[in-house]
Amino acid sequence: MVIKASQVTAMATLAMIVLGGCDSPARVKPWRHAPDPTVEAARVPRSQTLTEMSAEAETRAEVRAARSHTLRVHVDADPGRLNPLVSPTTWGRRITLGTVFEPLLRYVPPDRPGEAGRFAPRLARAWRVAPNGLEILVEIEPNVTFHDGRRLTTSDVQFTLDAVRDPRRGIDHVRHMLDDIEAVELVTDVEVRLRLRRPSGWVLRALAEIPILPMHVYDGSLLAGGAIVGSGPWRLASNKNGTVHLTRHEKYWGGPPAIADLEFVYQPDAAVVLKDAKRGDYDIVPALIPAHYPDQANAPGISASFDKLELRPLRMRYFAFNSKRAPLDDVRIRHAVALLVNRREVAKSMSQLARPVLWPIWPGGFVAAPEASVPDFDPKKAGALLDDAGWSDTDKPPDGYRDRPDPKGKRPNPRLTLVLVGLERPAKTPAEAKSDVAGGAPHTAREMFVEAAKRVGIVIEVRTGSEAWLAKRLEDGNYDIVELAWNGMVDADIGTRLFGKNSRRAGSPRIDRALDAMAAAWDPAERTKLAPELAAAFEETWPFAGIVVDAPQGLVHKRVKGVRTWDGWIDFTQLSFAN
């Protein structure tokens, strides 16, 4: 390209103008710059989905950063308030009892399966029962302090036990355990005496279940404005966004626990829980839902990192009989009805997350002893018992219903009709919903029982309502059979539950003698020896009929060591992480 002289002159002139600008006066107005993109982005409204994803990522990053010293436990129901005495939920007690709050005694699991548990020291370093069985002298540890630094004294013990015994406090779930205490007396600041109305081994059992509260915090109100102050190896760090965080109490009188932090995470969506478990966000998943068991539990992504966990919580479903009105005042009818419960089929319908049971007696059960055999579903034998009791189909031609002739022959023969009451049916489990789709066969214990009774000629009239409605029916005795669920603890005073106020169960002198002997036994091992006699007494009277006991299947991470399940839960003080 050829450049002309005029072009060169113009370009030189332009260069002089540009260079001359360098010596121009300073600008009065600031230079304009492009906006900072990070600042602008913060000002612009963001997508809610993106915001939630960002928050979730930050939360997961925090979780991962703390995993080396934090045990994370899935919680499948809202734990509610964390006070272990005032109307606690199952999860409220699981989270705080033995971790934040401590009882006087520990009830430790047996050394070998099938044996009884035993008592061991906790806040009480020693205890002594008087020879006549009417006094228990308890000596507490002298150097225990609560999380706020105040020292534990026997005044705290007296305050707690008297609060439980006071009906006005409303601590109904454990008050009956202290019915045999006449007075709680201070001896010294480390010794307290319990005076009893009669010898009762259940009082010692209660001392292993009732947490001791600091009087200076809870005297005005057991709720204490939401304060959670105990003496245990962990203290409450926070309770927010569905996560209860307990952190190690470094000044714990018994020495700090091996695991520094515990987090109990409420997540109602089981699919989310399984996903989070696969990516390492949980150490313990107490119970899988039927839809995830057993397939998901055995999937490679789970089985590589988790072992199976079976908590065996004490929750028994059963039918109780009103023996105070006909026709269930006849033991043959009660026995026949018990044989119409297809326990194994009920357990199968629950994806084997329950197991058949007859009496509340099994290793680690309400009565901790070897389990009595569970009878087969036997309509033929039930029919023979009904025949023997005088109930048969006398109509001509037979109509398929059992009746009993009127002695005077003036009225139509009455059919054998029983009224079954229970709570309104809860939402169906995935297994039940699947059964509905598959073809409509009875799948709940109630429906299976009604169908089996119909086949042998018994009419079952089912009536359901609210908890208040059911309580009123039981109080009035306006029922023949009631469907109940029993939540409790290992080695319990079952007499109060089964034969207490308004029970209308069939008792007997033999049952009474067995229960009295168990109450008088101070050692759990002695109660275990008495269990076969109690089971034999039940088989004479058939006061109730067990259906199934819950048997949830869960997961525990392989890095968690020292896991032993007892009384439906885990002792966190015995846990540690693998190196």
Q: What is the pLDDT of residue 442?
A: 53
CATH class of 232-311+553-577: alpha beta
**In 373-520, where do the E strands start and end?**
417-423, 459-465, 481-487
Q: What is the pLDDT of residue 499?
A: 78
Tokens of 80: 């509610």
CATH class of 315-550: alpha beta
Segments in the chain below pLDDT 70: 1-60, 407-412, 426-442, 500-503
Q: Integer distance in angstroms from the first to the last C-alpha of the chain?
A: 78
CATH of domain 102-226: 3.90.76.10
Distance CA 124, CA 126 (A): 5
Q: What is the pLDDT of residue 362?
A: 95
Instruction: Delimit the CATH 3.10.105.10 region(s) of the chain.
Output: 315-550
Q: What is the pLDDT of residue 429?
A: 42
Q: What is the pLDDT of residue 43?
A: 53
Instruction: Delimit the CATH 3.90.76.10 region(s) of the chain.
Output: 102-226
Under 8 Å between Cβ of 563 and 556: yes
How far does Cα 190 stand from its chain's mean position? Answer: 34
Instruction: Delimit the CATH 3.40.190.10 region(s) of the chain.
Output: 232-311+553-577
**The residue type at 254:** G
* Full 3-state SS string of 474-493: HHHCCCCEEEEEEECCCCCC
196-250: per-residue pLDDT in tens? 999 999 999 999 999 999 999 999 899 999 999 999 999 999 999 999 999 999 9
User: Model pTM?
Assistant: 0.84
All residues at 6 or more sequence positions from 323 whose CB lies less than 8 Å from its CB, including other chains: 329, 334, 504, 505, 506, 541, 543
- Tell whether the torsion through CA atoms of 495, 498, 504 and 510 is positive or negative: negative
Tokens of 34: 């492009």
Q: What is the pLDDT of residue 29?
A: 45
Q: What is the pLDDT of residue 56?
A: 60
Under 8 Å between Cβ of 177 and 210: yes
